[in-house]
Amino acid sequence: MATNHESSNPTAPDSPREPLQSEGEVLAEARRRSRRSFIGLGLAGLAGLGGWNWLISQPKDSGIAQPLRKVLDANGRLSGAYFKETRLAPEFARSRARTPRVNGKIGMKQELDPEAWRLRVQDFGTGATQEFTLADIKALPKVVMTTELKCIEGWSTVVNWSGARLSDFLARHPLASRPGTTVELAAYVGMSTPDDAYYVGLDMPSALHPQTLLCYEMNGQPLTAAHGAPLRLVTPLKYGTKHLKRIGTIAFADTRPKDYWAEQGYDWDSGH
Ligand SMILES: Nc1nc2c(c(=O)[nH]1)N[C@H]1C(S)=C(S)[C@@H](COP(=O)(O)O)O[C@H]1N2
Ligand SMILES: [Mo]
């Protein structure tokens, strides 16, 4: 993956309060816990040390609050060092990227006006809905990656994707906090097409995974309508079923959100 910005030096203190666990402490905890819960652990650790409000009020690096940026970077480094084989989906040379077949049109029957489109995100704390334009998504650090799109039907295609990390979106717009707290995140994220005909659920660690992107480009070109314009999900540790095209809404929950293919009997997690 490449981003269009320089990350802050993760060892440089952001403030005299030094709210972060040292990397040694993080590593020690990471060894004791399962890898699935680890990203949650990083956020929970931060929460205990000053809280989400403090976190998001800190100076921003490319729009991302520095402390959260550091924790997410630390998670990325740890995943690289400890969970290399299973934790990150493999990346491929850009030259291997192809256009995948158009597969699945549920929730994409109506024409969509990209100018009028808004991403509608329901604040888990207040229940209020906030709207975002594509420009709001493009204002986040742009991530480019070449990964494999694997369909449950048995085919797979290497695709070059560009978009924003869902984790960067949630760091910049902290809408996933549990009601009554400002520090804990919901356990799940649910997303659906604007007409609600196709929908997927993700556990929060998968949603915060560094390769889980809100994508607006495929192979260097703006997404076509058939591939999910203006915005689709890409999450390459999971099968294509989870790669929701034409995202309309995002909401948060503490129980598994509805999932179209899970309702048809497929595995809810759909990892591979
Ligand atoms: N809205 C919507 N998104 C969807 C689907 C769908 O039917 N509707 N099908 C999924 C499946 S099963 C796959 S394999 C991928 C295929 O993405 P592509 O058409 O860009 O190749 O889209 C996923 N996202
Ligand atoms: Mo699929």
Tell me the per-residue pLDDT of 86-124, one tens digit each, with 9 for 90 and over. Answer: 478 999 999 999 999 999 999 999 999 999 999 999 999
How remote is the CA of residue 217 from the centroid of ligand 1, in Å?
15
- For residue 135, the one-letter residue type is A
Report pLDDT for 183.
Answer: 67
- For residue 51, the one-letter residue type is G
Report pLDDT for 87.
Answer: 74
Residue to mutate (ligand 1; options 98, 99, 101, 103; most atoms within 8 A of CB): 103
Report pLDDT for 256.
Answer: 97
Which two structure tokens, joined as six digits, stand for 191?
Answer: 């997303």
Report pLDDT for 107.
Answer: 98
Q: 223: closest CA among 131, 114, 141?
A: 114
At which residue do the structure tokens 């929970």 appear?
A: 44
Residue ranges of the chain with pLDDT lower than 50? 4-64, 74-86
Report pLDDT for 265.
Answer: 95
8 Å CB contact between 249 and 120: yes
Report pLDDT for 108.
Answer: 97
Q: Whose CA is nearest to atom 7 of ligand 1?
A: 104
8 Å CB contact between 45 and 16: no
